[in-house]
Chain A
Amino acid sequence: MKFISDIVDGISLGSIYALIALGYTMVYGIAKMLNFAHGDIIMVGGYAAFITLSANWCPMWLSLVITVTVCTLLGIIIEKLAYRPLRSSPPLAVLITAIGVSYLLQNIALLTQSANPRMFTSIVNGVPPFLQVFKGRGAVFFKENPYKAEGIKSDLTISTETFLAIIVSVIIMVALSLFINKTKAGKAMLACSEDRGAAQLMGINVNGTITLTFAIGSALAAVAAVLMCSSYPLLTPSTGSMPGIKAFVAAVFGGIGSIPGAMIGGVLLGIIEILAKAYISTQLSDAIVFLVLIIVLIVKPTGIMGRKINEKV
């Protein structure tokens, strides 16, 4: 039973990584750039949700709408101001700009929100009634309080946040796959990712498509922010950086540029991290995560779902 509960924890953490990794991988696939500011968009989303949730006038649904709007607009603005002017510059210049944007966001947050950590209030308390099946400590299978009971200590408790993280991630991933494969805008994205020049010749608005990509990636970051802060309720200006790096690893792990790859990579990374903590050592868990990444990249350099593309010289 402990193993099952560990796997559930891993999937919960992994689905948050996957949501963040989706943002990385979409932007990489279409704009061919690593948006290192992605983690910090999550942080901004966290603060937007924190501020609106703390305000008395703001119901939860409105706060979610505001958070998603803020992040989407932020993503579009960043793309327009910082990345678009550099579209034809060498990749290194764009990469450095992205790191610059990341630091800019962190320091703006430091200035306006101060370095004091905030305790995020989980959104679960405000879930509409039809979702309140899991209210309180979450769904408890078998026994109310596992540690109070003598003898049996292997009961399964899954928190509401965990349920939410998994369910929301699955819904978003399915919706995103449908969007990309079935809609015109989604197909335009696919075309841009295959060959930007040819896509433009075919009459696809490349700039518009890239802006849309940033908008979707940032909206996903907003959702990830709310889910992440609900599960791990600490909010500081550097909140986004470590999950951002882990999610980037997940994107590479799954094959950067591939949307199913990001999902699989994220979930696997979460499971590996939790299992390493549970069965090997809490000290070594991060080392094990990155070791697995190295092994995967040695064995399969394009990642799990990545396609090998021959460079034309």
Chain B
Amino acid sequence: MNKILKRSVAVAMAAATALTISGCNKSETSGGSASGETLVIGGIGPTTGDNAQYGIAVQHGMELAAEEINANGGVNGMKLEVKFEDDQADPEKGMTAYNSLKDKGMKMLLGTVTSGSCTAVSALAAEDNMFLFTPSGSAINCITAGDNCFRMCFTDPNQGAIAADYIADNLSAKKIGVIYQNDSDYSVGIFNGFKEEAGKKGLEIVAETTFTEDSATDFSQQVKQIGESGAELLFLPFYYTQAALVLQEADKQGLDIPAFGGDGLDGLIGVLGDKITVADGVYVMSPYASTSPEEKSAAFTKAYQAKFPNDEVNQFAADGYDCVYAVKQALEQAGVKDASISASELCDKLKSAMTSIEFDGVTGKTKWTADGEPEKAPKVLQITVADGKGSYKVL
């Protein structure tokens, strides 16, 4: 019953937003497109609704990068301007936002932020031959629509595979216990990638347990089963909110084995507060962590916090920031000097430039394949607790 109500409220809100968005279009298109000296970079992501934190982080990351680049003379004399539209993580609204951004003179799209919306928008972008570069769309088919699509982050299965490689190569554990969320694409994706690679690397998954969004409070059985299976390492491919509960339950039951998680665990330190001791020694595989001591990450965190003091800096902000800088490097490589170039022509130049650059950003050193997939080494961080405060140690 609750679900039905939720849906009808959502529909009503969607209708309301659609009205306001179409209202905006009319007034803004008459204002004319950008001048020849300014290259308009489009961005799409949820800045309102349930996933707002991701969209806002990417938007702010992109704006910060563009501001820094413009202050240092721009790219080949061109200024960058970020125009960001809200899609509430909804594919339909993402497509509306895409068309609206085209009307506003967008020459390339750094988006969209969420996987579902990105998959829908990438089909449109492939048709238009518009350069699409998603900071955080991690599902495989986000960038399979055409050779115009690239991404900054790892795919979910890729992340799982990298985790398995890392565990096999660097840690002593051979028996792995897994808890994953079987109603989340993100969690299932990482788990599948992990399972496949673990088999190849000689890791044995001795316990495989699940939970769903609705049953994400009681982990006593999952932890118990993992304890009984004799697992030597706990693999947690989901978000930090639930991971915090799993770690507390493991502590309560006296299950004392290391835990390993993906980028979803970044945020654990914040949510656990004074109970951080249960997370001592947890491995987090994230391209960026706000408390990372690394020089580039630390500089970005400082600049971001200075500009947006009310935001929590997360991986999404770093991905958005890196996207703009990667595009800058690709533009320089391709020698694009005129911002009045057509979007399709720009896309062709960027396509070949992207595969030839080697980018060194906040989220690590990255190269791109012709498929648009990033190739970068994973960063594994370990949470260490001293005086009741958690921090990351780079491994």
Contact = CB atoms under 8 A, between A and B. Distances in A.
B227 A153 contact: yes
A169 B209 CA distance: 30
A283 B257 CA distance: 24
B221 A278 contact: yes
A147 B256 CA distance: 7
Interface stretch (A25-33, A137-145, A195-203, A302-310): A137-145
A146 B214 contact: no
B245 A232 contact: yes
A138 B249 CA distance: 13
Given A103-B5, A119-B271, A241-B2, A146 B217 contact: no
A184 interface: no
Nearest to A153: B228
Nearest to A144: B254
Contact of A13 (B218, B228, B254, B274): B218
A214 B2 CA distance: 22
B7 to A, nearest CB: 13
A260 to B, nearest CB: 25
Nearest to A16: B218
B230 to A, nearest CB: 8
A116 B210 CA distance: 23
Interface residues of A, number: 40
Contacts of A116: 271
Of listed A115, A159, A274, A283, residue having the most chain B CB within 10 A: A283
B235 to A, nearest CB: 15
B221 A119 contact: no
A312 interface: no
Contact of A233 (B210, B221, B248, B253): B248
Given A153-B227, A234-B244, A137 B252 contact: yes
B356 interface: no
B252 A282 contact: no
Given A146-B253, A147-B227, A274 B221 contact: yes
Contacts of B248: 233
A277 interface: yes
Interface of B is mostly: helix
A69 interface: no
B257 to A, nearest CB: 8
Of listed A6, A243, A277, A286, residue having the most chain B CB within 10 A: A277
A242 interface: yes
B224 interface: yes
A157 interface: yes
A9 interface: yes
B222 A282 contact: yes
Of listed B215, B244, B275, residue having the most chain A CB within 10 A: B215
Contact of A9 (B2, B220, B228): B220
B217 A283 contact: no
Interface in A220-260: 231-234, 239, 241-243, 245
Of listed B1, B212, B217, B227, residue having the most chain A CB within 10 A: B217
A13 B249 CA distance: 14
Given A2-B228, A234-B217, A148 B245 contact: no
Nearest to B213: A242
B255 interface: yes
A126 interface: no
B182 interface: yes
Contacts of A159: 252
Contacts of B272: 119
A296 B212 CA distance: 25
A146 B210 CA distance: 23
A84 to B, nearest CB: 23
A283 B210 contact: yes
A103 B41 CA distance: 39
Interface in A262-313: 274, 277-278, 282-283, 285-286
Interface of B: 1-2, 5, 50, 182, 209-212, 214-218, 220-222, 224-225, 227-228, 230, 241, 244-245, 248, 252-257, 271-275
What 10 A-B pairs have minimum CB-CB distances, sorted nearest first? A277-B221, A232-B217, A145-B254, A147-B227, A282-B209, A117-B241, A282-B210, A283-B210, A147-B255, A242-B214
Given A9-B220, A242-B217, 13 more contacts: A13-B218, A117-B244, A119-B272, A138-B252, A144-B254, A146-B227, A146-B253, A153-B230, A232-B217, A234-B216, A274-B221, A282-B222, A283-B210
